[in-house]
């Protein structure tokens, strides 16, 4: 074996593996170049998901003849004039994107230099450049890439389907478009226009165009500033969430990033109000001096390092939590739309009604809540969240009598209707409170709502004087195995602070001596203890129980709340509604499901084809 120097083309092909791993990565690099060139309009035209052809045109400053030749060389860039990696004020700086792309594909670049007014073109195939020639290009730069990865068959094999590649390209264009509202973007795939975003003055309008009205109606504005770091953007109400983190759009100094730290912040901020498997939709923009952040971490520049990650973390979590609390008991407006969707499916399934009129009335409804034409969060994503909202509750029906029973004591209470959650009219299936509001009706999931109220009361008690406990006359004995007893007893002191006093009872049982008084009358001690053991098992010793207090409280609240199946009288129901209005964050249960849904009279009229 001899050590040898690799030829230039091979070096570029190896580098290409990191910089452009798929068509979307090439598109990202090229759009970033267009933005760096000061373009106000960028168009992307793909064939076969970008696998056979990508054409990007811009109206930026263009390149002169010499620049055009140099642009295709590795480590040739116009963007680091002072050799200073601490002052990167362009999206590019590594000077390797064009060289990498050209090493693995067939590239043709046409460009008109704004200064000289001359236009030139050059081609390059698997890293071999042609001579440059005069061109008839009108303005800006057009880069055509054909047969990406034809020169690296190994990589070619790993391409995904056209649909998957196109999806990734669309995601890339969307993210860049969010960060640069003043640039117009067009995306065309196999001749069909997929995105058409005209230039707008502010970020808010661009976000509305991309994420749709739905998001606008269900998002909170985020604004914060600390030590020269500015955070802005929008974050969804806790009830407006998705099954993946794909709809979390994060930007650092105009750069779309997928950063673990930042995603972690969002998770932490919503931990209290959203189940771990659900992800709120957010679009957040962080602006900070370039000396505070290193963007040179990742060849595709998708990750960044902050000089003071702790500060960034606490600022983002703080701002999001503040907004969530301000949101109070507000619950997502789409929840009502989901409900209507559910009505519709049942009708269709039963097939007992003249469908043509009903579906004619119902179909426009479901569209009314989607975003505009450019809405990127499509129908399926919403469907997905609708299903998770409703599926966990279907089991209630199994245990219930088939007939809906209404509360016999409905008292006229006109005044109560002026409250946001209205006047309780009936309880059905022993879990759902139906209330009349001035504008329509509200259906409350009494279990979910009560669980949230109990949880918030726990938190308030802790903040004041600690959780109030009540001793049990005869201790509850819970049988466990030895290791479970051990786990629980390890945390006995902390559990005691949370209102739960336990003692070992023989080798394989514990005696519960006291419970939080809020729960005393309703608690299923055994179930709670089993659940606590499961939760405590996952907490390693280095990790204090105190850090998991909210999870524990949430478990306790769940086991001590009014279960479905308990009859409430009108007074009790109204008391619950007033409690919800007075309690922050009562719009969702501890798992991010809504605690109530609202239907306006208008929606109801639509359901019956009156509108």
With contacts defined by CB under 6 A, name the span among 90-98, 280-288, 498-506, 572-580 that binds ligand ADP: 90-98
Please answer whether residues 134 and 54 qualify as being in contact, where contact means their C-beta atoms are separated by less than 8 angstroms: no
Please answer whether residues 562 and 522 qualify as being in contact, where contact means their C-beta atoms are separated by less than 8 angstroms: yes
Contacts with ligand ADP by CB under 6 A: the residue count is: 24
Nearer to ligand ADP, 40 or 314 (CB): 40
Binding map of Mg ion across residues 84-113, x = CB under 5 A, - = no contact:
--------x----x----------------
| Paired strand residues for 142 | 57, 110
Measured between alpha carbons, how far is 385 from 265 in angstroms, rounded to an integer?
22
Lookup: tokens for 303: 């990750």
Measured between alpha carbons, how far is 379 from 368 in angstroms, rounded to an integer?
12
Measured CA distances, 274 to 235, 280, 537, 551 (Å): 13, 8, 22, 11
Least distance CB 26 / ligand ADP (angstroms): 10
With contacts defined by CB under 6 A, name the span among 92-100, 186-194, 407-415, 549-557 that binds ligand ADP: 92-100
Among 15, 27, 63, 184, binds ligand ADP (CB under 6 A): 63
Nearer to Mg ion, 88 or 599 (CB): 88
With contacts defined by CB under 6 A, name the span among 28-36, 389-397, 487-495, 569-577 that binds ligand ADP: 28-36
- 8-state DSSP, 494: H
Give me the helices (H) in 498-585, please: 525-537, 549-559, 570-582
Lookup: tokens for 535: 């939760």
Nearer to ligand ADP, 117 or 402 (CB): 117
Q: Which residues contact 346 (CB under 8 A, 6 or more apart)?
A: none
Residues numbered 541 to 560 that lie near ligand ADP (CB under 6 A) are: none
> What residue 77 binds from ligand ADP, Mg ion, none (CB within 5 to 8 A, per partner kind)?
ligand ADP
Q: Does 336 sit near ligand ADP (CB under 6 A)?
A: no
Least distance CB 29 / Mg ion (angstroms): 5
Least distance CB 122 / Mg ion (angstroms): 17
With contacts defined by CB under 6 A, name the span among 70-78, 169-177, 311-319, 558-566 that binds ligand ADP: 70-78
With contacts defined by CB under 6 A, name the span among 33-41, 439-447, 527-535, 573-581 that binds ligand ADP: 33-41
Least distance CB 48 / Mg ion (angstroms): 24
Counted residue by residue, the chain has a size of 611
Residues numbered 11 to 40 that lie near Mg ion (CB under 5 A) are: 33
Q: Does 239 sit near Mg ion (CB under 5 A)?
A: no
Q: Which residues contact 559 (CB under 8 A, 6 or more apart)?
A: 519, 523, 524, 527, 528, 531
| Terminal Cα-to-Cα distance of the chain (whole angstroms) | 81
Measured between alpha carbons, how far is 556 from 550 in angstroms, rounded to an integer?
10
Nearer to ligand ADP, 13 or 141 (CB): 141
- 8-state DSSP, 243: S
Measured between alpha carbons, how far is 44 from 31 in angstroms, rounded to an integer?
8
Q: Which residues contact 2 (CB under 8 A, 6 or more apart)?
A: none
Nearer to Mg ion, 33 or 385 (CB): 33
> What residue 95 binds from Mg ion, ligand ADP, none (CB within 5 to 8 A, per partner kind)?
ligand ADP
Interface residue list for Mg ion (CB under 5 A): 33, 92, 97
């Amino acid at each position: 074996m001899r050590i040898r120097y690799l030829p230039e083309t091979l070096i570029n092909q190896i580098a290409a593996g990191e910089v452009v791993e798929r068509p979307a990565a090439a598109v990202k690099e090229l759009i970033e170049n267009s933005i760096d060139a000061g373009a106000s309009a960028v168009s992307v035209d793909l064939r076969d998901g970008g696998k056979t052809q990508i054409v990007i045109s811009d109206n930026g400053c263009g390149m002169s003849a010499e620049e055009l030749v140099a642009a295709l060389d590795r480590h040739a860039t116009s963007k680091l004039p002072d050799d200073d990696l601490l002052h990167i004020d362009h999206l590019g700086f590594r000077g390797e994107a064009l060289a990498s792309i050209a090493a693995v594909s067939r590239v043709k670049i046409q460009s008109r230099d704004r200064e000289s007014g001359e236009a030139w073109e050059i081609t390059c195939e698997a890293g071999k450049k042609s001579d440059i020639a005069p061109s008839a290009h009108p303005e800006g730069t057009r880069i055509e890439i054909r047969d990406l990865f034809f020169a690296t068959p190994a990589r070619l094999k790993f391409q995904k389907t056209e649909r998957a590649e196109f999806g990734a390209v669309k995601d890339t264009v969307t993210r860049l478009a969010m960060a640069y509202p003043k640039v117009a973007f067009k995306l065309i795939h196999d001749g069909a226009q997929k995105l058409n975003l005209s230039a707008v003055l502010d970020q808010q309008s661009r976000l509305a165009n991309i994420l749709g009205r739905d998001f606008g109606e269900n998002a909170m504005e985020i604004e914060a500033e600390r030590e020269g770091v500015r955070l802005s953007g929008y974050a969804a109400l806790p009830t407006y969430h998705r099954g993946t983190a794909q709809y979390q759009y994060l930007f650092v100094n105009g750069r779309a990033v997928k950063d673990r730290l930042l995603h972690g912040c969002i998770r932490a901020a919503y931990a209290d109000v959203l189940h771990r498997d659900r992800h709120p939709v957010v679009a957040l923009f962080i602006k900070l001096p370039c000396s505070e952040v290193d963007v040179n971490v990742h060849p595709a520049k998708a990750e960044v390092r902050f000089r003071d990650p702790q500060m960034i973390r606490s600022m983002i979590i703080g701002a999001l939590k503040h907004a969530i609390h301000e949101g109070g008991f507000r619950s997502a407006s789409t929840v009502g739309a989901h409900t209507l969707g559910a009505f519709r499916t049942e009708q269709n399934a039963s097939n007992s009604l003249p469908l043509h009129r009903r579906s004619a009335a119902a179909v426009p409804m479901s569209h009314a809540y989607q975003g505009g034409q450019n809405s990127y969060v499509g129908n399926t994503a919403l469907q997905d969240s609708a299903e998770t909202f409703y599926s966990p509750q279907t089991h209630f029906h199994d245990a219930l009598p088939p007939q809906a029973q209404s509360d016999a004591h409905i008292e006229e209470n006109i005044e109560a209707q002026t409250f946001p959650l209205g006047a309780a009219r009936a309880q059905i299936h022993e879990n759902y409170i139906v209330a009349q509001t001035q504008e329509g009706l509200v259906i409350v999931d009494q279990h979910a709502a009560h669980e949230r109220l109990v949880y918030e009361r726990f938190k308030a008690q802790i903040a004041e004087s600690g959780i109030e406990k009540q001793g049990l006359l005869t201790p509850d004995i819970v049988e466990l195995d030895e290791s479970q007893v051990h786990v629980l007893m390890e945390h006995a002191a902390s559990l005691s602070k949370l209102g739960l006093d336990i003692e070992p009872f023989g080798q394989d049982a514990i005696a519960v001596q006291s419970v939080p008084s809020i729960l005393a009358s309703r608690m299923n001690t055994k179930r709670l203890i089993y659940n606590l053991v499961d939760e405590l098992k996952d907490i390693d010793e280095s990790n204090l129980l105190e850090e998991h207090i909210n999870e524990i409280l949430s478990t306790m609240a769940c086991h001590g709340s009014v279960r479905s199946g308990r009859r409430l009288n009108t007074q009790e129901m109204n008391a619950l509604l007033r409690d919800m209005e007075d309690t922050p964050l009562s719009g969702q249960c501890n798992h991010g499901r809504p605690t109530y849904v609202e239907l306006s009279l208008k929606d109801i009229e639509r359901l019956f084809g009156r509108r």
